[in-house]
Chains A and B, each alone.
Chain A
Amino acid sequence: MKTPYPRYDVLAKWGSPSFNDATREALAARLAAPPPFRFFTGDDAILLQAVVDRLLPQPDREIPIPVAAWVDDYLFEGRDQGFRDARLPPLHESWRRALSAIDHEAKRRFQAGFSALAPEQQDAVLSAVQAGDVDAEAWGDLDAADFFRDDLLTTAAQHYYAQPAAWSEIGFGGPASPRGYVRMGADERDPWEAPPEERS
């Protein structure tokens, strides 16, 4: 993918007045080596990785953002927002069942586990899950489409867009304390924001 802001790196502001210590501390932890898989392990971790790789593919990055590892860490540490639909099992159980149901759907459609499929086949499985066009029995009281949108995709997308590399990609100003912004109008920018976009 071609970013409109190829010359912009939000982390170049690390030592500038746009970053304070609290922000540097939070980001240093996020930029360090990815956390180990502890909620999903073994084949389950490989499955989560394969699913997240299709939700947020990064063929353009030499070092991809470790989204799956952060999703696993979020589940392991219990950093969710604490509420759940009264009709559904607890969050941890939902994730385990959903991942297993996605693998089941892969086998039903392509006679192989999800992580063994070609990318196009994997996308076909995920499209079916998103549309709720699945073997409902494998999902139990989970709704496949709801889980895909509200849990799987939302969690993966949030952990991708929590990363400075993703902020640079979309031209977000990033951290802004103590120095905020001065120029507020359309097509106006401060010198410490992303340069004007380059659209080909």
Chain B
Amino acid sequence: MNLEVPRARDGRAPDVFTPGGWVPMAQFGDDEAVDFAIVGTGAGGATLAARLAEAGFSVVALDAGPFWRPLDEFASDELAQQKLYWTDRRLTAGRDPLALGANNSGRGVGGSTVHFAMVSLRFRPEWFKARSRLGYGVDWPLGYDDIRPYYREVEQALKIAGPVRYPWGPLRGPYPYRPHEVNAPGLVLARGAEALGVKWAATPLATVSAPRGRSPPCVNRGFCVYGCATNAKQSALVVWIPRALAAGAEIRDLAMVTRVEIDRSGAARGLHYVREGRRRFQRARNVVVAGYAIETPRLLLNSADARFPDGLSNSSGLVGANLMTHAGRSVWATYAEEVRWYKGPPSLAITEHWNYADAGKPSPGGYAVMSQGPLPMGWAQAVVDGRGLWGMALREEMAKYNHMAGLTPVCETEPRPQNRVELADETDAFGLKIPRVTFSYSEADRALEGHAVGFMRDLLEAAGGRDLWTSNDTSHILGTCRMGADPKTSVVDADGRSWDIPNLWICDGSLFPTSGGVNPSLTIQALACRMADRIGALARQGTLSRERAPA
């Protein structure tokens, strides 16, 4: 089977729940001006596509990658599943150049939620007012109360499995599904946390702990970050995409968007894209860019024209700026017992202690700490990075695999304008300039990461670990088209709507003004749900665009 042939076409799309199966799909002509053309079908784009289609808008969502059938095509294998990553050419720069192309990327319908670790956490309420309440970064143009109902909506939509009473933050009632059994590496975290007197919890996860529709309960395969082969994982591919299709949206897989076209009045008129080797143009009344924090600014910059020579929606000069990541230096330790950390979702236990405690930190940001379960290839990479071992010494160290446990933080970094996505001079196969991603940690970032490492060391030792060492990594990429209240200091408003082009929207992790100390997917989906409701409200007010929208 040639995987590079689109599947979602001719009025049908893959049914992810049936081997070889299909579901009917609406189809729109390229010349038909759809209400919304969406670039990207990950946590932002797929969620928005479903919610807009359910509200009665006509929607076409395009993704550069394939439309997988997990039941047929996902191997229990780290190497084979590298196919889930975005590996187009990119340059990485700065004092602390980011590794790209693996965990922080995704290529395919569902985006990186197909291989995410399913950790589904809310932001601490004060983070939405980071500048005015905590004294760092910037304030978001919305507050926790604006997004709270959408957190609840997404937690229900994904049937998050988590504790009855989550120990941090505002009361949120029980999570929809009971928590998963905490595995041995998670119990190491629990033991250490209790010895230190800090709270811990079963991590709220987007993989079901009981049957849900056609998703069976999680069977603890442990390959979650290489794609779930059973559909227990509540990725965008199995939650929002089927909803979008059922509501009449069209999904176009293997469709690479190359440019957003702006008409003479300064409004977006549609998308240029390449599918099956043909250059095509989809007309649209509104365009949404949801390609995540590298491809979204790249597309806006590559769409520069005579009217917008610096790229679209870039009157602030901030498209691509303020890139943030989550620092993730891990600490590893050896235990007397057999841990066998390959079983179960990789991060079954968490402490958000330092997201909610303010005294005693070197800088005001926060971090969550979670248990880990790397598989052999990933583990070899950590051992090489952290220990530099090779020869028989490497094989001897690797043979301790079943006695290891460790912790990784999701450690906030500050928004800084010099960390950014720009266009390089090199071009890709489509003739588009490739992105250049520049990142350096600030002193505050380094200090906070150092604090996290110290805390994780104390915790692992308190749990009985010995021979502690660390390895370096980063995770999510955020912030390159920040939302804000002022057109001079932000790219879009609180609804994700461009300040410069009223029918151009952004819906992904690039919106984040600050990064918070948690995995971003729940917040991206909550923002998408809120955006869909706001678009509906604007349409009812008649202020969505100059053209007609459904009542």
Tell me the A residues contacting B by CB distance below 8 Å: 1, 3-4, 18-23, 25-27, 30, 54-57, 79-87, 123, 126, 130, 149-150, 153-154, 157-158, 160-162, 166-167, 169-182, 184-189, 193-194, 196-197
Contact = CB atoms under 8 A, between A and B. Distances in A.
A21 B399 CA distance: 29
Contacts of A188: 184, 340
B84 to A, nearest CB: 12
A81 B93 contact: no
Contacts of B308: none
Contact of A153 (B218, B384, B399, B436): B384
A172 B376 contact: yes
A185 B97 CA distance: 38
Contacts of A179: 219
B312 interface: no
Interface in B358-397: 375-377, 379-381, 383-385, 388, 390-392, 394-396
A172 B379 CA distance: 11
Q: Using C-beta atoms within 8 Å of the partner chain, give the interface range for chain B.
A: 35 or more
Contacts of B305: none
Contacts of B276: none
Contacts of A172: 342, 375-376, 401-402
Interface stretch (B8-16, B32-40, B68-76, B411-419): B68-76
Contacts of A161: 376-377, 379-380, 398
B54 interface: no
Given A25-B75, A81-B102, A82-B101, A123 B338 contact: no
B82 interface: yes
14 contacts: A3-B399, A23-B76, A81-B102, A82-B86, A82-B101, A83-B437, A86-B93, A149-B385, A160-B380, A172-B375, A176-B220, A180-B343, A182-B220, A184-B182
A186 B337 CA distance: 6
Interface in B83-113: 85-93, 97, 99-102
Interface in B213-259: 218-223, 229-230
Contact of B89 (A82, A87, A166): A82
Contacts of B390: 54-56, 126, 130, 153, 157
Contact of A83 (B78, B79, B100, B380): B100
Contacts of B388: 130, 149, 153
A159 to B, nearest CB: 8
Contacts of B385: 149-150, 154
Contact of B399 (A149, A170, A181): A170
Contacts of A57: 391-392, 395
Contacts of A149: 384-385, 388
Contacts of B328: none
Contacts of B399: 1, 3-4, 169-171
Q: Which 9 A-B pairs have the closest CB atoms?
A: A81-B101, A180-B219, A82-B87, A175-B76, A26-B80, A83-B100, A161-B376, A86-B93, A157-B380
Contacts of A23: 75-77, 80
Interface in B1-22: none
Nearest to B424: A86
A196 B403 CA distance: 12
Given A4-B399, A23-B77, 10 more contacts: A3-B399, A81-B101, A82-B89, A172-B401, A173-B340, A176-B76, A181-B220, A181-B343, A184-B344, A189-B338
Contacts of A170: 376, 398-399, 401-402
B475 interface: no
Among A4, A22, A167, residue most surrounded by chain B Cβ atoms (within 10 Å): A22
Contact of B79 (A4, A26, A130): A26
Contact of A185 (B75, B92, B187, B221): B187
A139 to B, nearest CB: 18
A200 to B, nearest CB: 13
B3 to A, nearest CB: 12
Contacts of A160: 380
B350 to A, nearest CB: 16
Contact of B92 (A83, A157, A166, A186): A83
B327 interface: no
B377 A27 contact: no
A81 B392 contact: no
Contacts of A26: 75, 77, 79-80
Contacts of B375: 172
A107 to B, nearest CB: 22
Nearest to B229: A177
Among A18, A161, A172, A175, residue most surrounded by chain B Cβ atoms (within 10 Å): A161
Nearest to B70: A22
Contact of A174 (B76, B82, B181, B187): B76
A22 B402 contact: no
A92 to B, nearest CB: 12
Among A23, A54, A177, residue most surrounded by chain B Cβ atoms (within 10 Å): A177
A3 B99 CA distance: 33
